[in-house]
């Protein structure tokens, strides 16, 4: 799937979670055709060696994946899946949204790539894939926020990996997911010593949304998708944040060995409009001012023993 899009743009309320699969499926179904008009698809089709910006960023930490049997969870319209296939992996993509997979299959066919796509909720992916195991489980940017339990996600990853297989996930940082743009109302006493601290009337980044996983979701209504101004037919979605500690602990408790954890000050989408600037060299956004204060994404790798 893709990243969250609402930072500061939508209303929030808390509801029961039993409807999240159908709600999020229809939301991503309605985004699929909009996203198929962008996402760099023309560039991917024009150049058989081209990679998505996401996979290009990931490549140094991915290492050699040539010949690996790999599954991409929450693959959305398959631009990153195709890119991984171009790096030599034998790819299978899994997504909840049937409309997204239709676009992914179309892209793979036009690009001449042999990629299998399976429609499934993440948590039942092992059954949907017939008990197959893989050398690599890849989860791309903006994926795990759509899942209510990070522990169940990690258990799913472990079930999909054969012994020695590895997990690669890069996603939006939970600190970024908890942040909104806010206006400062009062002077902070520490500003007398650290003059760069935001003052009254300034807009700044504040932690207003849950950092730790909650039982209940945040419900958002976003008429437009992060990939453009086009409106989507079903704007409602449900999200959960998962703290970095919760993610690491879930991976360890699932029996995987942590091999790396890197935090980045950039993210592939304009997560805080008006506050971020595009670094065109890497195709990523970071804070325009003092980017060192915000972890925007993270990369975690692990191996099944």
What is the domain-level CATH number for residue 91? 3.40.50.150
What pLDDT is attached to residue 202?
Answer: 87
Q: Is residue 194 part of a domain?
A: no
What are the tens digits of pLDDT across the range 170-204?
999 999 999 998 888 899 999 999 998 889 998 89
Positions of E strands within 34-99: 69-73, 90-95
Q: Specify if 76 maps to a domain.
A: yes
* DSSP-based three-state secondary structure for 181: strand
Residue 305 in contact with residue 255, Cβ under 8 Å?
yes
In a domain, 153, yes or no: yes
Parent domain of 155: 13-174+210-268+295-304
Q: What is the pLDDT of residues 203-235, one digit of tens each?
A: 899 999 999 999 999 997 766 555 555 666 666
CA distance linking residue 171 with residue 4, whole number of Å: 11
Residue 161 lies in a domain: yes
0.85 exceeded by pTM: yes
Tens of pLDDT along 79-133? 999 999 999 999 999 999 999 999 999 999 999 999 999 999 999 999 999 999 9
- Looking at the domain assignment, is residue 264 inside a domain? yes
Which 8-state DSSP code applies to residue 232? P
Work out the end-to-end distance of the chain between its first and last CA atoms, rounded to an integer number of angstroms: 28
Q: Look at the chain and report how many structural domains it folds into.
A: 1
């Amino acid at each position: 799937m893709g990243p969250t899009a609402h930072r500061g743009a939508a209303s929030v309320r808390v509801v029961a979670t039993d409807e999240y699969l159908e709600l999020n499926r229809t939301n991503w179904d309605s985004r699929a055709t909009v996203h198929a008009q962008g996402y760099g698809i023309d560039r991917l089709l024009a150049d058989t060696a081209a990679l998505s910006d996401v996979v290009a960023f990931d490549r140094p930490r991915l290492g050699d994946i040539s010949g690996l049997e790999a599954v991409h969870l929450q693959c959305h319209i398959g631009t990153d899946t195709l890119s991984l296939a171009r790096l030599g992996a034998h790819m299978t993509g899994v997504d909840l949204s049937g409309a997204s997979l239709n676009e992914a299959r179309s892209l793979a066919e036009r690009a001449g790539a042999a990629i299998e796509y399976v429609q499934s909720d993440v948590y039942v992916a092992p059954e949907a894939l017939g008990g197959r195991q893989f050398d690599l489980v890849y989860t791309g940017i903006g994926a795990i926020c759509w899942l209510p339990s990070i522990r169940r996600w990690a258990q799913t990853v472990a079930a999909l990996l054969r012994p020695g297989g590895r997990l690669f996930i890069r996603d939006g940082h939970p600190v970024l997911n908890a942040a909104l743009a806010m206006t400062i109302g009062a002077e902070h006493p520490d500003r007398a010593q650290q003059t760069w601290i935001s003052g009254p009337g300034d807009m700044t980044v504040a932690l207003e949304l849950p950092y730790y996983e909650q039982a209940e979701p945040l419900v958002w209504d976003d008429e437009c998708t992060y990939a453009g101004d086009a409106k989507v037919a079903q704007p409602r979605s449900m999200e959960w944040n998962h703290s970095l500690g919760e993610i690491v602990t879930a991976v360890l408790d699932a029996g995987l060995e942590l091999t790396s954890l890197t935090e980045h000050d950039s993210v592939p989408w304009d997560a805080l409009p008006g506050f971020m600037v595009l670094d065109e060299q890497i195709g990523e956004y970071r804070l325009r001012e003092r980017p060192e204060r915000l972890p925007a994404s993270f990369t975690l790798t692990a191996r099944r023993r």
